[in-house]
């Protein structure tokens, strides 16, 4: 009886088992039988603090400093924020720049334009490739082999991939030589290189693989037995895609677009190599002001770029729920 009373207590209807202290047992398990949970997250926390939080706080602090002849001077000044947003003559109806955004805002807008255009083209190019790998290739080993083949260009530096377009799109490049050889043109065409066309084409080739991967994994999760069943019941391929494949692949599309969006928004090397510096991006502006040691204004541009990234990511996440992929 004494043994029973140690493990039971008297309740309203007799002997009842004692409630289990789950929290206490969890603490014992973490302290006696394994590592404490805090030990597992400490390395990641330290990494985030050193390489994310501290640099971000430093950028915010630098954006308020003053750039004097003697060098950087700690201060709390909005001078460079005013320079970023304000254009002389903005409020003057008789001025040429009346209600015209500053050159830095227009540069950020141009960056967003090229980013959205590249995202759309990456989706148009990457989705069929991911669909073919997930739905048409049956053997897993061939799926893996072809997917790794798509990843091969991504294993090299993106700068090398950008420079590789020089012998392809230049006035003496392979495409121009082929057009001349077939008699399609009489002289080399100039719109291929150092142009919006060449710049966009290079961006798509460089970053499309970031969209193929997440879309492929989303499509690969779809049970093909369900597709066969609805096809047997009389559904058309278009109906199957609209009702099943398309909605179930949206989280993968969203994740891929976030990857591409973040990478291209900070892009600067491709604009210099392929576009020849004819256009500025938010990344090139930051690089230029960093190069002349105007760190506060470079920090302001970096903060505006990060703000645009955050807004873009929030919009994507509001449109598509990606929690099922996490």
Listed residues 62, 90, 117: the one ending a domain: 62
Which residues are 73's β-sheet partners? 66
Provide the CATH number for the domain around residue 253: 1.10.3720.10
Distance, CA of 64 to CA of 311 (rounded, Å) = 23
Structural domain includes residue 4: no
* Residue 50, token pair as written in the block: 């050193």
pTM, to two decimals:
0.81
Alpha carbons 230 and 233: distance in angstroms, whole number: 5
Statement to judge: residues 31 and 149 lie in one domain: no
Q: Are strands 71-73 and 66-68 parallel, antiparallel or unpaired?
A: antiparallel
Domain count across the chain: 2
Q: How far is CA 16 from CA 22, 23, 57, 191, in A?
A: 17, 20, 56, 84
Overall residue count recorded for the chain in this entry = 326
Q: Clarify whether residues 55 and 116 are in a common domain.
A: no
Q: Is position 91 within any domain?
A: no
Residuewise pLDDT in 10s, the chain (326 residues) = 444 444 444 444 444 555 545 545 544 444 445 567 788 888 889 999 999 999 999 999 999 998 777 777 888 889 899 889 887 766 666 767 666 788 899 999 999 999 999 999 999 999 999 999 999 888 888 988 888 888 887 777 777 877 787 788 877 788 888 888 888 888 888 777 778 888 898 899 889 999 999 999 999 999 888 898 998 998 898 999 999 999 999 999 999 999 999 999 988 888 888 887 777 889 999 989 988 888 999 999 999 999 999 999 999 999 988 876 55
**Helix 295-319 vs helix 54-62: crossing angle, to nearest 10:** 120
- CA–CA separation, 320 vs 254, rounded Å? 7
Name the residue range of residue 167's domain.
Answer: 103-325
């Amino acid at each position: 009886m004494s043994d029973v009373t140690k493990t039971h207590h008297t309740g309203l209807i007799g002997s009842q088992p004692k409630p289990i202290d789950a929290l206490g047992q969890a603490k014992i398990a973490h302290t006696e039988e394994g590592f404490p949970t805090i030990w597992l997250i400490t390395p990641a926390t330290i990494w985030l603090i050193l390489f994310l939080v501290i640099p971000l706080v430093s950028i915010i602090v630098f954006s308020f400093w003053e750039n004097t002849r003697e060098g950087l001077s700690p201060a709390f000044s909005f001078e460079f924020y005013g320079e970023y947003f304000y254009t002389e003559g903005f409020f003057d109806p008789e001025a040429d720049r009346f209600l015209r955004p500053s050159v830095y805002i227009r540069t950020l807008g141009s960056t967003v334009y090229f980013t959205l255009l590249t995202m759309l083209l990456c989706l148009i190019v990457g989705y069929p490739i991911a669909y073919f790998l997930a739905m048409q290739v049956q053997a897993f080993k061939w799926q893996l082999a072809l997917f790794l083949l798509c990843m091969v260009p991504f294993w090299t530096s993106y700068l090398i991939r950008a420079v590789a377009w020089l012998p392809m799109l230049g006035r003496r490049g392979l495409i121009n030589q082929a057009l001349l050889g077939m008699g399609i043109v009489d002289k080399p065409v100039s719109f291929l290189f150092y142009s919006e066309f060449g710049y966009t084409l290079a961006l798509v080739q460089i970053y499309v693989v970031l969209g193929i991967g997440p879309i492929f994994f989303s499509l690969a999760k779809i049970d093909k037995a369900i597709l066969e069943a609805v096809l047997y019941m009389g559904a058309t391929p278009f109906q199957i895609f609209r009702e099943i494949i398309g909605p179930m692949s949206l989280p993968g599309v969203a994740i891929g677009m976030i990857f591409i969006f973040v990478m291209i928004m900070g892009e600067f090397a491709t604009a210099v190599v392929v576009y020849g510096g004819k256009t500025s991006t938010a990344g090139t502006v930051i690089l230029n002001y960093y190069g002349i040691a105007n760190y506060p204004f470079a920090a302001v541009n970096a903060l505006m770029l990060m703000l645009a990234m955050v807004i873009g990511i929030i919009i994507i996440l509001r449109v598509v729920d990606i929690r099922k992929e996490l």
